[in-house]
Structure 1
Amino acid sequence: MSGLVLAALAIGPASARDRIFDISTFSEDTEDWRTLRLFTGQTITFYGLISPIVLNYDDGLVSRTYAPVGNSNKTSRLGFRWRIRSFGDWSPIARVEIGLSARPSKEVSLLEPGTNTWSIKDGDLRKLEIIVKHPKYGAFSFGQGSMATHGITEVDYSKTDSASKSNVGRIVASQILRNSDGTLASAEVGAFIDNFDGSNITGTYSDGSRKMRLRYDSPAYRGFALSVALGNEVLRDDAEANADAALTYEADFGDYKLATGLGYSWQSDTRILSGSASVLHEPTGFNLTAAMGHERGGGNFVYLKAGVLRSQWKMGETALALDYYRGDNIYTGGSMAASYGLSFVQFFDRLNLQGYALVRSFDFKQPGASYENSLAVMTGLRWEF
């Protein structure tokens, strides 16, 4: 074990290009319409992501298409960052970000198809925070934002996260399972599947581990970085205090890029240990990703993905990936969920646009119940600015 640690320390940290672990912001300062420069010299940078999809879900008996709906893998959002005047080497940044609820795919179902109206709900406040960064002492974050373990099971070099992530049931979380006798069950897809992403405890409508919190991120040292946070969910009435910690590592090994993270989260009687790792061979574009997680006294999951990146056309990279998920004892003792997915993403670099598609099968088992297999097919666009 000590030999592995020494070998890792001997390798330099990953280059800034395509870093996975970066708490800075969704968008850097630009010289175009996104950035306004105040008379005091500070800048306000606006950013956003729009990701509509067409979703078809076949529960084994009934097939229904929902269009358009929001991609719950990558929630549509708008935000801005205000770079406040620095004092010494300390650089404060204020950030506000809201999600746009245009009928999220995780909330639609055969019984609740939803409406095509754009709205902003209480739960859509994603970020309302101040980040103070120092090159030597790290970054301190105050306010509504990501806990330390947010994204810890979604480390992924495949560039297919718009279509497929380790929480494979998120895009169809509210869809109702179909009993083998043809009747609708009481259970939903999201109850059987979780990726234990930090403090994101099992829940149909969960969307990451963002809370009103105090967070610290250490500077990276030879690729290693430590993050800790203490916070509380203020957007729900049943909120509980939560603390977590994460250790991440990212480095280049010649032609290979490696990123991995391990996190531990505790909330009342719940304890979560989870993490993920991804490796990319840059000359061929071949990549492998794995994620695992366990809840004390509860369920566990494993996720595997193999992908390839190609630059076949001048317009941008093409990403293709095949993945597998299995979760046990997440819904009830003895329950099981398995899923296979095939995802495709085409980048259009000049437009900051992605086109993507996903085909995903689901298999659910539970003692005393028998369910039909189901299938989800999704196509969509993702535009970032």
Structure 2
Amino acid sequence: MKTALIPTAAGLTALATPVLADLEYNLGSGATLTFYGQLNPAIISVDDGRDSETNLLDNDLSNSRIGLRYSTPFGNNTFQFRLETGLGLPNSSEVSQSGSDYSRFTRDDIRHFDFSLEGAWGQVSLGQGSMAADGVAENDLSYVGTALYSFTADANPSFLFRDGFDVLSGPAIGDTTDNFDGSRRGRIRYDSPDFSGFSFSAAAGENILDQEDENEYYDVAVFYNASIGGGAEMSAGLAYQERNGTDSDRSDIVASASVLLQSGLGFTAAIGDRDDDASGASDPRYYYAKVSYEADWLPMGKTGIGLHYWDGSDFNVDGSDSDVWGIGVVQEVKRLNTDLYLTYQEYDYSDSTGDFQDNSTIVLGALWKF
């Protein structure tokens, strides 16, 4: 067993204590400059069926980052610039049973370097930023969605499954579960105005942060956000995305929907199907479901709880079966602009070579935003 020094929950909260005041500045003539960011430290404990390892890491669920937004009127339109980057802290995606491989800060940490022009006709964006399908698999109105959502391998993607003989012969967890959500690329993107809750997006781009990636990326998406009566809210999305490469093409169809009732009860679902033309590649698919509830039980802020299940087939290799279930709670600390969260998830994988031992992962974290 490998165990790192574990701080208390109070220590995590201390890390989230605000140190910055009002970070929006009026530059005159309607122009504004806003600084923002977040820290997301988490204690992550992974058990592969024989050994367990516990570390304090930056949670890749929503990594620590800083950014700025500049906005100014441009005729009847609004011109905007956004710069955002991760901090390059030791990350939950860089640890496995073999140890750690921290990359520190690299250009892959650059999330946005993005210019846009917005008006009554919609918005055009150019630069490094979200493709049209980014977020389409993750429509989630539940408060517990801060820590428990359709992508299930943020905390342990590099850990290997262990077989029945205690050998690390299985695939990495990150190869056996995914939600096919859209990505960030160097792209040109168009977003339509809102039409009775519906909006449309389309984008084309390349992975400008990876010189070895010569693929071209295209996607289109439609989103729906509205109140649906009785105080209920609904958010949904559907996207088609395509990767055209020198060796093979790949396409995804992805959708998700979430409903939050006035009572605090919520339901979230997602599905995805991938068609990969690469020789020997599998064509995986999945479905996802979550039930959640939220209420103001404590004076410090809202509490959200949830239970979810993810089921996939043909991930990693044809004929494989992957299952993930998890439970979580998120507690708002409104005074500190912080969410404290605790999750437990269990991962099961099998393929033609046999069944592998389950992996279980516990995460205790604090997400502070400014």
- Normalised by the size of structure 2, how large is the TM-score? 0.89
Report how far residue 53 of structure 1 moved: 0.2
Conservation of the 8 A alpha-carbon contact between 1:73 and 1:164: no
Other-structure match for 1:287: 266
1:227 and 1:245 in contact (8 A); partners too: yes
Deviations 1:59-106 (A, max 9, x none): 000011011x0111111110001113x122210011100012211112
Q: CA deviation at 1:179?
A: 1.2
CA distance in 2, matches of 1:380, 1:354: 8
How far did residue 234 of structure 1 move? 1.0
1:216: which partner in 2?
190
Match of 2:79 in 1: 92
Asked if 1:80 is matched to 2:65, the reply is no
Match of 1:160 in 2: 144
Of 338, 348, 351, which residue of structure 1 is paired with 2:336?
351
Q: How far apart are 1:369 and its partner, in Å?
A: 3.1
* Higher mean C-alpha displacement, 367-376 vs 352-361: 367-376
Task: Name the structure 2 match of 1:188.
Answer: 172
User: Displacement, 1:186?
Assistant: 4.9
Question: What is the identity, as a one-letter code, of the residue corresponding to 1:252?
Answer: S
Deviation string, structure 1 residues 289-324 (Cα, Å, up to 9, x no partner): 000000025100111000001111222110000000
Corresponding position of 2:15 = none
Counterpart AA for 2:203: A
Equivalent runs, 1:110-129 vs 2, <5 Å: 110-114=97-101, 119-129=104-114
Displacement of 1:330 in angstroms is 1.5
Equivalent residue for 1:234, pick from 208, 224, 243: 208
> Is 1:252 matched up with 2:227?
yes
Encode CA deviations 1:208-231: one digit per residue, 9 max, x unaligned.
Answer: x00000001001110000000011
Aligned-partner residue type, residue 271 of structure 1: S
CA deviations on 1:154-205 (whole Å, 9 max, x unpaired) are 000112233212111222100111111011125200011110113xxxxxxx
C-alpha separation between the residues in 2 aligned to 1:277 and 1:162? Answer: 16
User: Which residue matches 2:11?
Assistant: none
Question: 1:161 aligns to what SS in structure 2?
Answer: helix
Q: Name the aligned partner's letter for residue 87 of structure 1.
A: F
Shift of residue 36, structure 1, vs aligned partner:
2.7
Consecutive unaligned residues of structure 2, counting only runs of 5 or more, are: 1-19, 277-282
Please state whether the residue corresponding to 1:219 is helix, strand or coil. Answer: coil
Q: Distance in 1 between matches of 2:128 and 2:213?
A: 17
Equivalent residue letter for 2:319: G
Query: Which residue does the alignment assign to 2:362?
Result: 377
1:308-348, Cα deviation, whole Å (9 max, x unpaired): 01111222110000000011101100111101100100001
Would the alpha carbon gap of residues 351 and 221 (structure 1) be closer, same or farther in structure 2, given more than 3 Å must change? Answer: same
Aligned to 2:16: none
Cα distance in 1 for residues equivalent to 2:21 and 2:53: 42
Q: Is the 8 A contact 1:337 1:364 kept in 2?
A: yes
Q: So what's the TM-score if we normalise by structure 1?
A: 0.85
- Is the CA contact (8 Å cut-off) linking 1:73 and 1:161 kept in structure 2? no
Q: Which of 252, 257, 273 is the matching residue for 1:277?
A: 257
Inter-partner Cα distance in structure 1 for 2:214 and 2:150: 25
Extract unaligned runs of 5+ from structure 1: 1-30, 199-208
1:304 corresponds, among 289, 294, 319, to: 289
C-alpha distance in 2, partners of 1:317/1:41? 35
Cα RMSD of the aligned pairs, angstroms, is 1.6
- Equivalent position amino acid for 1:97 in 2: E
* Paired residues of 2:170 and 2:356 also in contact (CA < 8 A): no
In the alignment, which of 362, 378, 381 is matched to residue 347 of structure 2?
362
Counterparts of 2:163 and 2:303, CA distance in 1? 38
Do structure 1's residue 342 and structure 2's residue 322 form an aligned pair?
A: no
Cα distance in 1, alignment partners of residues 332 and 21 from structure 2: 21
Aligned partner (choices 284, 289, 306) of residue 321 of structure 1? 306
1:177 partner SS: coil
Amino acid at match of 1:176: L
8 A contact 2:59–2:154 mirrored in 1: no
Runs of 4+ in 1 over 4 A off after TM superposition: none
Tell me the SS of whatever aligns to 2:147: coil
Trace 1:101-180 onto structure 2 (pairs within 5 A).
101-114=88-101, 119-134=104-119, 136-180=120-164
* Percent identity between the two aligned chains: 32
Report what 2:45 is aligned to: 56
